[in-house]
Amino acid sequence: MARPDAIAPSATPQAAARTCAPFRHEALFYADGNRGFVEGTLALVRGALATDAGVLVAVGATRAAALAEALGEEAERVSFADISQLGRNPARIIPMWRDFAREHSSGGADGSETASGAASTAVLGIAEPVWPGRDAAELTECERHEALLNLAFDDGPGWHLLCPYDLDGLDDHVLEAARHTHPLLACDGASRENREYPYVHEPPRPFAGALPAPCDPVRELAFAHGELAQVRLAIAGWASANALGAGRTDELVLAVDELASNSIRHGGGAGTLSWWREGETLLCEVRDAGWIQAPLVGRVRPSIDASSGRGVWLVNQLCDLVQIRSAPAGSVVRVHMRLG
């Protein structure tokens, strides 16, 4: 398999056009740990700061510390976020970038001009949502998240997002997946078109495929209108018995209640709840006859007067990981809550 950082550049007109597209989503494949990460990002950050661009770096603590040290006093002008906390559930990342891009594009959140009288449109983000140690379910959702970024921002303000991938710490199949979710690749300080990017003419399908079968033993409860109390009681008792903790138990019960309520309102009036434990993770799954067709559901903060979309948004804020698979035959939403 060719290494992702060894893809040959393309000189096609399409490559130039995409490089100049309003939203530039680019992958950086680096080696040599903190040193390679800093070498791949430092010049880009300094260049953005030189133009007074807003810069947000969402990476792990060691990577952030290494970059801050290299930047010196300039690090005070960079916003840092711990991706291991913020991005544990990848569905929370797009809302962060939406807020940041909105705040720093066109002079600020209110669209005002900068002190020089010109509207600022320069925004740089650096995010490492895939890090060594992610489990298989998280990696699957990270890949779907990366594909959805292009859909989420292609019609919005222009900005640049660089996604570093650790060649030494990640498996080949993870690096291969990254090649298929980024229109651009960073090579020797320049952007190159990724000729293996598949979503030029068709959007990603984030709900396609099936989830792995649950581990035994699995408990199930069918529910319909007027039976949500049984759903809440079942999950509350089970989570408490597994020592999830009072606060986290309340959050899991609320998340499952929201999903079951959605099944009644939008999924044919009924559904089936399943729950089980895998190692140190509690999993709950709600299946119904509905078909989810909005690819960014749960990743766009609903407005105050929104009539729908709040349930899945709330579930994403409460749970450690949320997985959605949907087709005309029905939908399944699986949520993960880690013990401890």
β partners of residue 285? 274, 334
pLDDT in tens, 272-305: 999 999 999 999 999 999 999 999 999 998 887 7
In 10 A of CB 271, how many CB atoms? 27
Confidence of residue 102 (pLDDT cuts 50, 70, 90): confident
pLDDT (0 to 100) of residue 4: 37
Confidence of residue 307 (pLDDT cuts 50, 70, 90): low
CA distance 136 to 114: 45
CA distance 243 to 201: 48
Q: Are 204 and 295 in contact (CB under 8 A)?
A: yes
pLDDT in tens, 312-332: 999 999 999 999 999 999 999
pLDDT (0 to 100) of residue 156: 75
| CB burial readout 193-202, b (16+ within 10 A) else e | bbeebebeee
Residue 8, pLDDT above cutoff 70? no
**Tell me, what amino acid is at 52?**
D
CA distance 186 to 5: 8
Q: Are 286 and 253 in contact (CB under 8 A)?
A: no
Domains of the chain in start order, with CATH, are: 4-193 (3.40.50), 219-338 (3.30.565.10)
The pTM assigned to this predicted structure is 0.87
pLDDT (0 to 100) of residue 202: 80
- Distance between first and last Cα of the chain: 39
User: What is the torsional sign of CA 3, 4, 6, 8?
Assistant: positive
pLDDT in tens, 30-59: 999 999 999 999 999 999 999 999 999 999
Residue 12, pLDDT above cutoff 60? no
Q: Are strands 281-288 and 270-278 parallel, antiparallel or unpaired?
A: antiparallel
pLDDT (0 to 100) of residue 106: 57
Across the chain, what does the average pLDDT equal? 88
pLDDT in tens, 107-163: 443 333 333 333 334 799 999 999 999 999 999 999 999 999 999 998 877 899 999
Residue 241, pLDDT above cutoff 90? yes
| Least confidently predicted of 7-11, 248-252, 332-336 | 7-11
Residue 89, pLDDT above cutoff 70? yes
Cis (ω within 30 of 0) for the bond into 132? no
